[in-house]
């Protein structure tokens, strides 16, 4: 007998029919002799519907009230799943964030979990209930409702699994696991049986939007084995776990790509201390996130500074930089939306050299020009022209021996 936490996202509970499917899957896990705690998101579209009402009232609604409003979405799904399980003859109990004592800080709409008491969850489990907890929501020290930000139900699930010392946390989603590359553009992509927390973190931040990044950080910190699997099939998914010796043997675990960034270059910038700050601070102040930053030294006292921003913020960032270029005396501002970032990720890189040169030569062999490079301990990312994205992913997938099962 094990204690298993199962999290289902918005599409999995999108209507009563789908809630019935979820109930069936939960019931099977219970029938196999396990204790089961279920974490649910709101019905898909519901959070946006509620937000839309608030935004019709005012452009910047108060975040405390937004959390009161949107937390109703999960409240509806947990009660409906509980009723469905009961109608099938199972004992079930729904719980909201405040009842499960999911204590967070007071940063409304993006709160962080501080502690979970879980005593009532344990009490309900002891009475052989299937316990269904509203994801995405918590309560702060003053008793106000908070929410954890987009994808926060993943974090709810992992945090509850951690506090209950669950044997496993299953994240049911609309993909059936983590792949060596996006199967839509790389037909040889394979589902990974296992991946390390660190690799998952890099993949998540690179655009493989399967798990909220914070949930992976939580899983790593508290050593919660997480399984990413499909709501719509019985297949086993991908286990996200601590790295082990076997994982290190594989140099590259996967290839990811991201087409959602754009590049901005200020050329012939007077090269003096503090110039990078002058260029980038106004971008941060406008709430625009910068990913990669590269500065090249030119001949003379000139430098070129290039950085990437989300495509959706491109026009705003360009407008800001045109003003700055004038102020600091830069020659010109050049923007490029037709870029993509391809990355190779793997904990094996820590103990293997030559990964970067292998990556560069593989891309060069296909005449793919590299525009920018950035690296971490377990990742190498190259910015290339967008039109080469699919070719680059397939090329790297082959070059790093990912086409064949290990």
- Degrees (nearest 5) of the Cα angle 60, 65, 69? 105
Number of residues that bind a copy of itself (CB under 8 A): 37
| Pair 142, 107: CB distance under 8 Å | no
| 300 binding a copy of itself? (CB under 8 A) | no
62 contributes a contact to a copy of itself by CB under 8 A: yes
The Cα-based distances of 244 to 131, 190, 217, 240, 325 in angstroms read 33, 20, 18, 12, 49
CB of 69 to a copy of itself, least distance (A): 4
Does residue 18 belong to the site contacting a copy of itself (CB under 8 A)? no
Nearest Cα neighbor of 382 from 339, 338, 335, 342 is 342
Query: Judged by CB under 8 A, which stretch of 55-63, 178-186, 278-286, 365-373 contacts a copy of itself?
Result: 55-63
Q: Are 242 and 197 in contact (CB under 8 A)?
A: yes
How many whole angstroms separate alpha carbon 131 and alpha carbon 63? 29
Contacts to a copy of itself from residues 66-105, by CB under 8 A: 66, 68-69, 71-72, 75-76, 78-80, 82-84, 86-87, 93-94, 96, 98-99
User: In the complex, what is the shortest distance from the CB of residue 105 to a copy of itself, in angstroms, rounded to a whole number?
Assistant: 18
* Residue 231 structure tokens: 């709501």
> Considering the complex, what minimum distance in angstroms separates the CB of residue 70 from a copy of itself?
9
Place of tokens 């891309």: 363
- Based on CB atoms, which residue is closest to a copy of itself, 77 or 343? 77
Contact set for a copy of itself, span 137-166 (CB under 8 A): 143-145
HSE at residue 82, side-chain half, CA atoms within 13 A, is: 20
- Is 51 a binder of a copy of itself (CB under 8 A)? no
Binding a copy of itself (rule: CB under 8 A), the pick from 3, 50, 51, 356 is 50
CB of 65 to a copy of itself, least distance (A): 4
Site membership for a copy of itself, residue 376 (CB under 8 A): no
- Cβ closer to a copy of itself: 78 or 330? 78
List of long-range contacts for 303-306, beta carbons under 8 Å, 24+ apart: 303/269, 303/270, 303/271, 303/275, 304/265, 304/266, 304/267, 304/268, 304/269, 305/265, 305/266, 305/269, 305/275, 305/276, 305/279, 306/263, 306/264, 306/265, 306/266, 306/372
Which CB, 79 or 260, lies closer to a copy of itself? 79
Smallest distance, Å, CB 153 to a copy of itself?
17
As measured in angstroms, the least distance from the Cβ of 101 to a copy of itself is 9
Q: How far is the CB of 130 from a copy of itself (least distance, A)?
A: 12
Least spacing, CB of residue 269 vs a copy of itself, in Å: 43
Out of 64, 191, 322, 337, the only residue in the binding site for a copy of itself (CB under 8 A) is 64
Binding residues vs a copy of itself (CB under 8 A): 16, 19-20, 50, 53-54, 56-58, 61-62, 64-66, 68-69, 71-72, 75-76, 78-80, 82-84, 86-87, 93-94, 96, 98-99, 120, 143-145
């Amino acid at each position: 007998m094990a204690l298993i936490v199962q999290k289902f996202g918005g599409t999995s509970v999108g209507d009563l029919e789908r809630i019935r499917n979820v109930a069936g899957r939960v019931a099977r896990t219970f029938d196999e002799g396990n204790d089961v705690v279920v974490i649910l998101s709101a019905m898909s579209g519901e959070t946006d519907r509620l937000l839309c009402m608030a935004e019709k009232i005012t452009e910047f609604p108060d975040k405390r009230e937004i959390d009161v409003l949107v937390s109703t979405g999960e409240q509806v799904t947990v009660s409906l799943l509980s009723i469905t399980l009961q109608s099938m003859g199972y004992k079930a109990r729904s719980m909201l964030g405040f009842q499960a004592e999911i204590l967070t800080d007071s940063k409304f709409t993006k709160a962080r979990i501080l502690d979970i008491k879980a005593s009532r969850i344990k009490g309900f489990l002891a009475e052989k209930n299937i316990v269904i907890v509203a994801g995405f929501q918590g309560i702060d020290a003053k008793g106000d409702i908070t929410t954890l930000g987009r994808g926060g139900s993943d974090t709810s699930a992992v945090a509850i699994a951690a506090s209950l010392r669950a044997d496993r946390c299953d994240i049911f989603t609309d993909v059936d696991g983590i792949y060596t590359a996006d199967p839509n553009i790389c037909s040889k992509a394979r589902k990974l049986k296992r991946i390390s927390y660190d690799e998952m973190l890099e993949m998540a931040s690179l655009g493989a939007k399967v798990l909220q990044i914070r949930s992976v950080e939580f899983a790593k910190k508290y050593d919660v084995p997480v399984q990413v699997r499909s709501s719509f099939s019985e297949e086993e998914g991908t286990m996200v776990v601590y790295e082990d010796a076997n994982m290190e043997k594989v140099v590259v675990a996967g290839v990811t790509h991201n087409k959602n960034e754009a590049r901005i270059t200020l050329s012939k910038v007077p090269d003096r201390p503090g110039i990078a700050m002058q260029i980038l601070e106004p971008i941060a102040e406008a709430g625009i996130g910068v990913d990669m930053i590269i500065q090249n030294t030119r001949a003379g006292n000139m430098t070129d500074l290039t950085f990437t921003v989300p495509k959706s913020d491109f026009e705003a960032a360009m407008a800001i930089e045109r003003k700055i270029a004038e102020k600091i005396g830069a020659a010109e501002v050049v923007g490029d939306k037709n870029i993509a970032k391809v990355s190779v990720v793997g904990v094996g890189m820590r103990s293997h050299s030559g990964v970067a040169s292998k990556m560069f030569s593989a891309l060069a062999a296909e005449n793919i020009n590299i525009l920018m490079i950035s690296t971490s301990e377990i990742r190498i990312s190259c910015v290339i022209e967008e039109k080469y994205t699919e070719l680059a992913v397939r090329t790297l997938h082959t070059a790093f021996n990912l086409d064949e099962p290990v």
